[in-house]
Amino acid sequence: MACRKKAGLPRVIEILDVSKRYAAGAHAALHGLSLAIAEGEFLALIGPSGCGKTTTLGLINRLVEPSQGTVRIGGRDIAASDPAALRRGIGYVFQEAGLFPHLTVAGNIAVTPRLLGWDPALTLSRVMELLALVKLDPERFADRMPHELSGGQRQRVALARALAARPPILLLDEPFGALDPLTRDEVAQDVKRIHGELGLTTVMVTHDMTEALLLADRIAVMRDGHLVQLGTPRELVAHPADDFVSSMLETPRRRAAALAAALA
């Protein structure tokens, strides 16, 4: 239902026939990829290691430049934008939280506001607000160093840092990869809540089809630099495009069946 409503919204991110070759003669990481993401959508990018997920995410904030093709945000070709200005509007959470080890939690979250020259009192109140948003008690956590945090807490700080300057777009590269299943589920549910509360457009890379099915409005399945299928969780489950997509759905199907049997 939510998706049908979103289908009418402008396509805020458009990847148009993009190919990427990291070096002349190298195997292409992306082959003519086209993908449009609607405003307010939560899109999951999924596929095997090396299929081009991080490369695709990087296209959106110009960490990766296309060898061919165009990327538009809000209808404008981002090749003409200033990368720093572009990235201010796009929060990015890296595969491994990537916090600055020598800065406190508050210092990490304040990095972008400080770069933007925000008033210190405003920055501090924003840091406190963000800690509450990601469910970390400001009293306990603001002054801690990254090495004093659990993996899940580090990912929460990375998320807060990515959202500090109120970007409308959030990119997440396997944000829960290193977390235990319970923590993973908790942080994932919080990301989904924050996505809705802030009205973000979110693109999340994941290896986990169950997670993609539970969190995303639409799922983009990639293989060898190609988009194999793009659809809602319901569409994927009902009509997998090929055996590859079917095989990716096997684990969640098995889990669902086992759970249903155990609870029967």
Ligand X SMILES: Nc1ncnc2c1ncn2[C@@H]1O[C@H](COP(=O)(O)OP(=O)(O)OP(=O)(O)O)[C@@H](O)[C@H]1O
Q: Which residues bind ligand X (CB under 6 A)?
A: 22, 29, 47, 49-55
Nearer to Mg ion, 52 or 252 (CB): 52
Nearer to ligand X, 22 or 100 (CB): 22
State in angstroms the smallest separation of the CB of 71 from ligand X: 15
Residue 167, binding choice from Mg ion, ligand X, none, Cβ under 5 to 8 Å by partner class: none
**Residue 255 backbone dihedrals phi, psi, to 5 degrees:** -60, -45
CA 5 to CA 68: how far, in whole Å? 32
Expressed in angstroms, the distance from the first to the final Cα of the chain is 29
Nearer to ligand X, 59 or 162 (CB): 59
Nearer to ligand X, 51 or 136 (CB): 51
Structural tokens at position 70: 């165009």
Residue 50, binding choice from ligand X, Mg ion, none, Cβ under 5 to 8 Å by partner class: ligand X
**Is 262 strand, coil or helix?**
helix
State in angstroms the smallest separation of the CB of 154 from ligand X: 19
State in angstroms the smallest separation of the CB of 76 from ligand X: 24
Residue 51, binding choice from ligand X, Mg ion, none, Cβ under 5 to 8 Å by partner class: ligand X
Q: Which residues bind Mg ion (CB under 5 A)?
A: 54
> Largest Cα–Cα distance of the chain, in whole Å?
58
Beta bridge partners of 173: 205
State in angstroms the smallest separation of the CB of 222 from ligand X: 7
State in angstroms the smallest separation of the CB of 49 from ligand X: 3
Beta bridge partners of 14: 36, 72
Q: Which residue is nearest to Mg ion (CB)?
A: 54
For 179-198, letters b (16+ CB in 10 Å) and e give beeebbebbbebbbebbeee
Nearer to ligand X, 53 or 126 (CB): 53
CA 200 to CA 47: how far, in whole Å? 23
